[in-house]
């Protein structure tokens, strides 16, 4: 069954119209597609070599401390691409979500469809970065009056693990400090949008450790952003059987990271899953269970 684009604005329904306006504004804020970006902070990589190692270890600390004494910060000019930001192809230094309006709208449509059809289960994202997608999930439950589903926020909150599978030899995602966002920062982002409550549950740790015994019975929507072969496979093996019939599985980077796609295709072949993977945009794919 193909997912139809559902308009959340019934004719002549003022309350739902207000809810839709709110969610559109929220998506623009979470993606920062409304605001652009002038400057980007310097992000220290987990691993540096050569002159970069010398810069980060010896020069940068001195320059940074000197500037802090006079209320300044060392940054670099941003070259904001509004179109790339909207379609989830721009890494904004402050956005709570990097999946863009296309990715956020896909999550919105999947959640709304499950709510309309009363597909049982909670909502979950595995690999949340700054938490923007799960903030949207929680907001949608409020807008549509759901009073029982929970939102599961699963992440190491330390970035990606070091490769452990043969298929991942040479994978450098674990060196990417940009996606190593701490739990406290993610929780503060939820607070900023008024979405941190007892219906939001955090699962902290590597997926292979936290997900197999996670206290989750059913899911209506499962979104996976694991980047790596092992991380993606860990989530699928632990959580796929909990996705209710009629629910959705969304895979970030399915079309852009070979190891991610390899894990998904192998898992689908093992389980005999024939539902077609449909594109969200240039990067992401999803299917209905």
Q: What is the pTM of this model?
A: 0.84
- In terms of domains, do 44 and 183 share one? no
Measured at the CA of 50, the angle between CA 46 and CA 55, to 5 degrees, comes to 70
Q: The tokens of 127 are what?
A: 């690999």
Give the list of residues 6+ apart from residue 268 with CB closer than 8 angstroms, or none: 277
Would 87 be classed as within a structural domain?
no
- In terms of domains, do 205 and 67 share one? no
pLDDT band at 85 (very low <50, low <70, confident <90, very high): confident
- In terms of domains, do 233 and 161 share one? yes
Would 157 be classed as within a structural domain?
yes
Sheet holding 285-288, edge to edge: 200-204, 151-155, 122-126, 219-224, 243-251, 285-288, 278-279
Assign residue 215 the CATH number of its domain: 3.40.50.150
The total of structural domains in the chain comes to 2
Please give the torsion angle defined by the CA atoms of residues 266, 270, 276 and 277, in that order, rounded to the nearest 10 degrees. Answer: -30
Please tell me the predicted confidence (pLDDT) of residue 236: 98
Would 266 be classed as within a structural domain?
yes
Least confident of 28-37, 79-88, 121-130, 208-217: 79-88
- In terms of domains, do 110 and 44 share one? no
Higher pLDDT, 186 or 39: 186
CB-based burial label for 4 (10 Å; 0-12, 13-18, 19+): exposed
Q: Is 63 helix (H, G, I), strand (E, B) or coil?
A: helix
pLDDT band at 166 (very low <50, low <70, confident <90, very high): confident
CA distance 245 to 120: 9
CA distance 155 to 176: 15
Whether the predicted pLDDT of 153 surpasses 50: yes
Q: Are 161 and 127 in contact (CB under 8 A)?
A: no
Whether the predicted pLDDT of 136 surpasses 50: yes
Q: Are 195 and 135 in contact (CB under 8 A)?
A: yes
Would 173 be classed as within a structural domain?
yes
Report the pLDDT averaged over residues 154-179. Answer: 73
Percent of the chain with pLDDT over 70: 87
- In terms of domains, do 244 and 184 share one? yes
- In terms of domains, do 58 and 188 share one? no
Report the pLDDT averaged over residues 131-141. Answer: 97
**Residue range(s) defining the domain that contains residue 201:** 26-31+94-288
Would 190 be classed as within a structural domain?
yes
Q: Are 206 and 154 in contact (CB under 8 A)?
A: no
Please tell me the predicted confidence (pLDDT) of residue 160: 66
CA distance 227 to 154: 14
- In terms of domains, do 154 and 272 share one? yes
Please tell me the predicted confidence (pLDDT) of residue 45: 62
Higher pLDDT, 56 or 274: 274
The tens digit of pLDDT for each residue in 41-53 reads: 776 665 666 777 7
- In terms of domains, do 174 and 260 share one? yes
CA distance 92 to 94: 6
- In terms of domains, do 100 and 72 share one? no
Q: The tokens of 5 are what?
A: 């684009």
Would 51 be classed as within a structural domain?
yes
The tens digit of pLDDT for each residue in 273-283 reads: 999 999 999 99
Percent of the chain with pLDDT over 90: 60
Least confident of 1-10, 47-56, 65-74, 223-232: 1-10
- In terms of domains, do 56 and 121 share one? no
CA distance 73 to 75: 6
Please tell me the predicted confidence (pLDDT) of residue 177: 59
Q: Is 202 helix (H, G, I), strand (E, B) or coil?
A: strand
Whether the predicted pLDDT of 13 surpasses 60: no
CA distance 15 to 115: 17
Higher pLDDT, 72 or 5: 72
Least confident of 26-40, 69-83, 127-141, 167-181: 167-181
Would 84 be classed as within a structural domain?
no
- In terms of domains, do 115 and 247 share one? yes
Higher pLDDT, 20 or 49: 20
Please tell me the predicted confidence (pLDDT) of residue 11: 39
Q: Are 251 and 233 in contact (CB under 8 A)?
A: no
The tens digit of pLDDT for each residue in 90-106 reads: 888 888 998 999 999 99
Paired with 77 in beta bridges are: 39
Report the pLDDT averaged over residues 194-222. Answer: 96
Would 86 be classed as within a structural domain?
no
Least confident of 159-168, 222-231, 235-244: 159-168
């Amino acid at each position: 069954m193909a997912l139809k684009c559902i308009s959340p604005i019934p004719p002549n329904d003022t309350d739902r119209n207000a809810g839709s306006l709110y969610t559109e504004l929220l998506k623009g804020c979470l993606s920062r597609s409304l605001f652009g970006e002038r400057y980007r902070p310097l992000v220290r990589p987990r691993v540096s070599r050569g002159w970069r190692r010398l810069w980060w270890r010896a020069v940068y600390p001195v320059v940074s401390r000197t500037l802090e004494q006079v209320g300044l910060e060392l940054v670099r000019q941003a070259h904001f691409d509004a179109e790339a930001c909207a379609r989830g192809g721009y890494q904004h230094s402050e956005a709570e979500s990097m999946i863009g309006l296309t990715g956020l709208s896909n999550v919105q449509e999947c959640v709304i469809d499950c709510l309309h059809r009363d597909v049982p289960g909670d909502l979950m994202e595995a690999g949340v970065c700054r938490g923007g997608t799960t903030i949207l999930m929680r907001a949608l439950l409020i807008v549509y009056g759901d009073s029982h589903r929970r939102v599961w926020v699963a992440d190491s909150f330390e970035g990606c693990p070091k490769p452990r599978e043969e298929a991942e030899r040479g994978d450098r995602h674990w060196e990417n400090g940009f996606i190593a966002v701490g739990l406290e920062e993610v929780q503060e982002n939820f607070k900023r949008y008024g979405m941190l409550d007892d219906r939001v549950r955090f699962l902290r740790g590597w997926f292979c450790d936290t997900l197999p015994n996670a206290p989750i019975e059913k899911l209506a929507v499962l979104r996976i952003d694991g980047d790596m072969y092992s991380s993606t496979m860990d989530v699928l093996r632990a959580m796929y059987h909990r996705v209710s019939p009629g629910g959705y599985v969304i895979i970030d980077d399915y079309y852009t990271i070979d190891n991610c796609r390899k894990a998904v295709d192998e898992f689908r072949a093992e389980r005999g899953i024939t539902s077609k993977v449909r594109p969200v945009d240039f990067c992401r794919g999803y299917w209905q269970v």
